[in-house]
Chain A
Amino acid sequence: MHLDHHHDGPAAVSADAHRPNGSRRALRIGLGGPVGSGKTATVAALCRALRDELSLAVVTNDIYTREDAEFLLREAVLPPERITAVETGACPHTAIRDDISANLEAVEDLEDEVGPLDLVLVESGGDNLTATFSKGLVDAQIFVIDVAGGDDIPRKGGPGVTTADLLVVNKTDLAPYVGSDLARMAADAKAQRAELPVVFQSLRTEAGVTDVAAWVRAQLAAWTA
Chain B
Amino acid sequence: MSGGVQATARILARDDGRGGTSLPVLEGDGPLALRRTRGRGAEARVMLVGAMSGPLGGDHFTVEAAVEEGARLHVGSAAATIALPGQAKGEARYDVRLTVADGGELRWLPEQLISANGSELYVSTHVDVGAYGRLVLREEQVLGRVAEEPGRLSSRLVLRVGGRTVLDQELACGPGAPGGWDGPAVLAGHRAVGQLVVVRPEFAADPAASRVLGDGAVVMPLAGPAALVSAVAPDALRLRKLLDDALTSLG
Report if A and B touch in the complex (beta carbons < 8 A): no
* B interface residue numbers (CB < 8 A to A): none
